[in-house]
Amino acid sequence: MPKFTPDSSVVFEVVPSENFGERNNGLTPDMILLHYTGMPDLEGALYRLCTAGTDVSAHYVVLEDGRILQCVPESKRAWHAGVSYWAGETDINSCSIGIEIVNRGHDWGYPDFPLRQVAAVIALCRGIIIRREVPPHRVLAHSDVAPSRKQDPGEKFPWRSLADSGVGLWIEPAPIVKGEMLRPGATGDQVRDLQAALARFGYSIEADGRYDVPTREVVTAFQRHYRPERVDGIADQSTLKTLQALLAALPASKPPVAATS
């Protein structure tokens, strides 16, 4: 791809990727999907995101020092989500803007996100939200839309700070206390109610009343984003109450979504 005019005034440099396409079925982006690069260094990440044949790309890359690179125009479909699902949508690439945040990730020590980098993510997202009318509940983690495969940007990512600046949906998590909890292996109506609530929020999960591996993966993804103090895949009272508070905070016009496997 030749150089193009950046969509955002906060972009430091355009670094074109060869990996992109047209958005399918006339979809326009109304979602922001946040990732970490999960690689040891920036050079390797940019090579993977921009080189033909890797079949991976993102619209933006946010460096640790706060500089922002744009690799794919927002009008095009970047290849960042992979096999994914959210709230009835399976072609996440066609309805989202993908932002890669430079961070080595869980496999390489998982450092904290520098303040300058977080500030840059906020500035970038705020502009996208205004241009694309992205609602708060559509600012998501890669782990939200692909809980069985992904854990980025992870529990260290400061979702609370983003929400305080007008980016994303956040509810103060309910305190972690001793009490009844649902664990892997549990069955019954309480598990079914949990699964149905997670499906209403947007996750891909079948409400079959069995606390199986996919259910644990979805609960873990929920905790990484919305209750990061303890990420263990166990639906304790803090997890359950935080989920209910988030459901109550969704727009009233949000249609119910059938659970899927």
Given the residues 18, 22, 43, 100, select the one marked as catalytic: 100
The number of angstroms, rounded, from the C-alpha of 66 to the middle of its chain's C-alpha atoms is: 20
User: What stretch of H or E contains 219?
Assistant: helix 213-226
Can the peptide bond before residue 40 be classed as cis, meaning omega within 30 degrees of 0? no
Matching residue, tokens 């997202």: 125
Alpha helices in 92-188, H assignment, sequence order: 92-95, 115-132, 142-145, 159-164
Q: For the chain, percent helix, then strand, then coil, each to nearest 5?
A: 35, 15, 55
Catalytic status, residue 100: yes
Q: Would you name the residues annotated as active-site residues?
A: 100
